[in-house]
Structures are given as structure tokens and as C-alpha cells.
Amino acid sequence: MAKVMIIGAGGVATVAAHKMGQNPEVFTSIMIASRTKAKCDRLAAAVAAATGHKDIQTARVDADNVPELVGLLNDYRPDIVVNLALPYQDLTIMEACLQTGCNYLDTANYEPKDEAHFEYSWQWAYRERFEKAGLTAILGCGFDPGVTSIYTAYAAKHHFKEIQYLDIVDCNAGDHHKAFATNFNPEINIREITQKGLYWEDGKWVETEPLEIHKDLTYPEIGPRDSYLLHHEEIESLVINYPTIKRARFWMTFGQQYLKHLEVIQNIGMSRIDEIEYEAPLADGTGTAKVKIVPLQFLKAVLPNPQDLGENYEGQTSIGCRIRGIGNDGKEHTYYVYNNCSHRAAYEETGMQGVSYTTGVPAMIGAMMFLTGKWVMPGVHNVEEFDPDPFMEQLNAKGLPWHELHDIDLEL
Ligand code: NDP
């Protein structure tokens, strides 16, 4: 008997809810709670129809509001809360979990709304309180962060005495046939990509201009794609948990069409995250009034909804880790571990495209790891701190099979 509460009802939550519905022996009771209850109701009905799960409840909650969250958690009493809302809500949900004795899992680290900046320090500050309360908080359990960190833990456990060079490579070779769209929440996505790049080398962080460093990398079953160095959150914890790492970087592919649109969006000020005044017409038609809007939030309202991209999405994603270091035999080795995920197959199974799928499946597996007693460790932990083996086994069983290549040219 285990109860799980999903917070959020977007693309990633849709996939996680479907996958939980397919595994009722672990997830006996599911609650989907989000800001718009109608979305939760639609999702619950779709999961019940697709999987036959008998116990899916829904609720409305503002996850920015701790007392509201506490009320809902006290009513439903979940064993674990799976936070699939936005990174802005991480701290309020963690606080509510502490006040009600619930365990916690998320897929993205905290970001303040008014500053496009993410780092783990805000969430790591909760370590002692979770530890004292005997509660487990699992941070960053999507694909990247998430599976990429678990791949690294698996490489360290089975193949390397010393990981020295780590390159996380994320390719989306899909085509959604739209001029411009983001694959997950546009506001979070554009904030991430327009930041300065950052990587770890020889014990310190090296900053680059946004998208300054790029090179062609060859992805399995896809071929060469221009890949850009970005700052990505999992690097922050991996270089602490694997101190032998001399250099750690994160690469993501972007097409020229995407970059052209992004440049225009920035040049015309639509990626701004500060409030501006806008002269809006009054509803009764009697004139106008000044209202405050955030340009990037306005842009989100006019861009395609990532949840609607699935139907015509072709191609696949390919995400993995390219690692060089000293193997268990004392010699230098290279290793590439990756998954390719088809957008069409993801859509046929869950109604969502591959980017939501590759995030929602690991979130479900992480919750499963906790509920089956394999990942129980009071405190606040990044996923690489847990045993990777049972998680890797479930990736193969639950739709994200992985492949290994040994001693190849890593191109990096
Ligand atoms: P969506 O925008 O599709 O969904 C977000 C959901 O959260 C919506 O249902 C939204 O409600 C809800 N929400 C937002 N604010 C609140 C609030 N204050 N209270 C309650 N609910 C709220 O996003 P995605 O599904 O694409 O992404 C979900 C998370 O996954 C994000 O944190 C994202 O950063 C992360 N992610 C992680 C990846 C990884 O690999 N680790 C990759 C991709 C995404 P409403 O429907 O009313 O707007």
C-alpha cells in the first residue's frame, strides 16, 4: 500500500501519472494536484482509461502557498510527493513536506522567479531538517538531471576506479513541424538557454558567453549535430560527489532555425523576466489601464504548448554520458552510455512527446525506488548518491533502455 501525490499536471506530470497508473502494485493510490483542477481531472480520467487504475484522486492547490499545501498533504497523507510543477515551487513544497512528515522528489533545482539563476545551495540548506525528521528528499530525478547522474554513478560503480572527464551530451533530433517551440515549459527553457555557459575544469568553474562554445558531435542512429556548451545543474553535484573529475561539461544540440528565433526573441526584449508596464484595454471597453506583465511569461502564452507537440513529432532524442578515466584494470578507458527515445513511441504510449517522456519515466522510477525501500536515505540527496543498479534495471523495463559503448573515440 503506497500513496503518491504528483504536484503539477503538465507534460512531465502526464507521463509520470501514466507510468504510475501502469504500476498499481507500487502506486496503489495516486493524487494529482495542481493549480488548474480541470487539467488534473482530465489527466486522471485519461490515466484511468488507459491503465485501469482504480484509485486516482485530484485536487486544486497553489504550490506557492505553504499553508495550502500543508492542508492538502495532511488530508491525503502521501508517502512521497513528486514535484512536477515548476522549479519556483521546490522550496515551498519541501517546506510543506517537512511540516507534514512527507518524503519528496523533484526533477529540477530551485530557481527564484525574479532571477534566472539556479543552484542547489537553496535545497541543500534543507539537509539537516530532512535528516532529523527521518525524511528522504531526492533531487533532480528526471533525465538530465537524473538519468545522466545515475549513468555516472553506474560508470563509477562498475567500470572506473577514477572518472576524470565527463561530458553529458543531450541531442533532440526530433521535428515537431513548428517554426519555433520549446520542448518543455518555455519560460524555464528560455531562461536556461540564454544564461552564460559554465563548466568545471581543474577544480574551478569556467564561465563562457551564452552558447559561445559549440562543436559537431555524432549521436547514435542520428549522426552529427551542432552541440552547444551550457550550464546544467547536475554538474554542480557530480563534481562534488566524484572529486576525481578534472573536467565536466554539458552539451545540448540546437538547430539554426531555433537559434535564429531565440536571437530575435532576445533582441526585441521578449526574454526579459522583469515586470514592464503595459497599457491594457478594460474589459468593459471604456478605456485602458496600466498593468504589469513579464515579457517572457507573455511570450509563453503565445508560443505552442509543449504538451501539444506530440502528435506530429518525428525523430528521436539521444542523451548520454561520455566518460574518460582510469578503469578497474588501472588503464585509461572511454565509455559512452546513452538512451535513444522515439517521440512517436512516447506519444503513442502517453500522449506526450519524448522530452516529457524522458523526464516523467525517471521521476516515476525514482518514486518507485523510494516506495520499494531501495532508495531510502533521510536527508536531501542528489540521485547519484543512491545505488544506481535497481534504477538502471527499471530504465530497461519501463521504456528507457540504455546502451553502452566501450573504448571508442568520444570526440571530446
Ligand atoms: P509544464 O509547464 O507543462 O507543467 C507545469 C505544471 O505545474 C502545470 O500543470 C502548472 O499548472 C503547474 N504549476 C505551475 N505553477 C504552479 C503552482 N504555483 N501551483 C500548482 N501548480 C503549478 O512543465 P513541464 O511538465 O514541461 O515541466 C515540469 C518540470 O519538469 C519543470 O520543473 C521542468 O523544469 C522539469 N523538467 C526537467 C527535465 C529533466 O530532465 N530533469 C526536463 C524537462 C523538464 P497550470 O497547468 O495551471 O499552468
Average pLDDT in the 268-293 region?
93
The reply to whether ligand 1 has any atom less than 6 angstroms from the CB of 60 is no
Pairing state between β 316-327 and 80-83: unpaired
> Over the stretch 233-279, which tens digit does the pLDDT of each residue have?
999 999 999 999 999 999 999 999 999 999 999 999 999 999 999 99
The reply to whether ligand 1 has any atom less than 6 angstroms from the CB of 191 is no
Please give the grid coordinates belonging to residue 121: 545551495
Q: How far is the CA of 83 from the centre of ligand 1 (A)?
A: 9
Q: How far is the CA of 326 from the centre of ligand 1 (A)?
A: 39
- Pocket-testing residue among 86, 123, 308, 355, ligand 1, by greatest number of atoms within 8 A of Cβ: 86
Average pLDDT in the 209-231 region?
97
Pairing state between β 223-230 and 247-253: antiparallel
Taking CA atoms, 399 is separated from 23, 164, 174, 361, 369, in Å, by 13, 30, 18, 8, 16
Q: What is the mean pLDDT of the chain?
A: 96
Pairing state between β 80-83 and 276-281: unpaired
Residue 173 CB partners (closer than 8 Å, separation 6+): 219, 222, 225, 253, 315, 316, 317, 318
> Over the stretch 182-201, which tens digit does the pLDDT of each residue have?
988 888 889 888 999 999 99
pLDDT at 116 over 90: no
According to the model, what pLDDT value does residue 364 have? 98
Domain boundaries, the chain: 3-139
CATH of segment(s) 3-139: 3.40.50.720
The reply to whether ligand 1 has any atom less than 6 angstroms from the CB of 184 is yes
Nearest CA among 195, 177, 178, 176 for reference residue 355: 176
Average pLDDT in the 397-408 region?
98
Question: What is the rounded CA–CA span in Å between residue 172 and residue 97?
Answer: 35
- Pocket-testing residue among 18, 184, 193, 235, ligand 1, by greatest number of atoms within 8 A of Cβ: 184
pTM for the whole thing? 0.96
The reply to whether ligand 1 has any atom less than 6 angstroms from the CB of 62 is yes
Question: Helix or strand or coil: residue 215?
Answer: strand
pLDDT at 56 over 90: yes
The reply to whether ligand 1 has any atom less than 6 angstroms from the CB of 39 is yes
